[in-house]
A and B are shown apart, each in its own frame.
Chain A
Amino acid sequence: AQSVTQLDSHVSVSEGTPVLLRCNYSSSYSPSLFWYVQHPNKGLQLLLKYTSAATLVKGINGFEAEFKKSETSFHLTKPSAHMSDAAEYFCVVSVGSGGGADGLTFGKGTHLIIQP
């Protein structure tokens, strides 16, 4: 079994300051981990993924995340927040079932607010 815990339901930062969105996971196997972003009235967009290669993963729009197995964490960071970063962010662990199709276990989401 696997689970994902996003430690903050809301995060508020000022424009130009660093962003930290926290995610802890549990998984019986080596996990694949993803961060997705969802802007209002839009679908989910992949920010980055970890699939057992480099532990520091760089994504789009200046985001990156570090996989820490000892802490079972996959926190998302960005050095400088932009107003356009305001959105809902989901941390996701993949439940590989083999055979070519698999589902995802979503965290409950973190709502990122950017103060001007």
Chain B
Amino acid sequence: DTEVTQTPKHLVMGMTNKKSLKCEQHMGHRAMYWYKQKAKKPPELMFVYSYEKLSINESVPSRFSPECPNSSLLNLHLHALQPEDSALYLCASSQGGFWGNQPQHFGDGTRLSIL
């Protein structure tokens, strides 16, 4: 069982739909992350939240909109996605060590398919 919970596990949506991915952790971690992972590739960092503030945006298209309502929750709002956005979306959290020596804990991801 993972300590980072992602919902839904699978999502199929059309290019005009609006949907949201959700991520929750109760480990008291103050940094949370969104990654995109294509098949047979390593995860690609999208966003980092630190103490509920957006810290890093890796030049992600505006059709992806992150939100951190509180220290335990992270959302990713999706709108007008393209077929190439089909991927596994992973959420992670960490204690956010100053020099990056804290490991990240990953959820099992949401498998997103864009029709």
Binding site for B on A (CB under 8 A): 29, 32, 34, 36, 41-46, 49, 51-52, 90, 94-104, 106-109
Interface string of B43-69 (1 = CB under 8 A from A): 101001111000110100000000000
B40 to chain A: which residues have CB within 8 Å? 109
Given contacts A42-B108, A43-B4, contact A101 B96 (CB under 8 A): yes
Most buried by B among A44, A96, A97, A99: A44
Please determine whether B56 and A107 come into contact, CB atoms closer than 8 angstroms. no
Binding site for A on B (CB under 8 A): 2, 4, 6, 30-31, 33, 40-43, 45, 48-51, 55-56, 58, 90, 92, 94, 96-101, 103-109, 111
B98 to chain A: which residues have CB within 8 Å? 96, 98-100
Please determine whether B51 and A43 come into contact, CB atoms closer than 8 angstroms. no
Please determine whether B109 and A96 come into contact, CB atoms closer than 8 angstroms. no
Complex CA distance for A45 and B1, rounded to whole angstroms: 11
Shortest Cβ distance from residue B61 to the other chain A in the assembled complex, whole angstroms: 18
Please determine whether A100 and B51 come into contact, CB atoms closer than 8 angstroms. yes
Complex CA distance for A102 and B42, rounded to whole angstroms: 17
Return the chain A residue nearest B55 by Cβ: A101
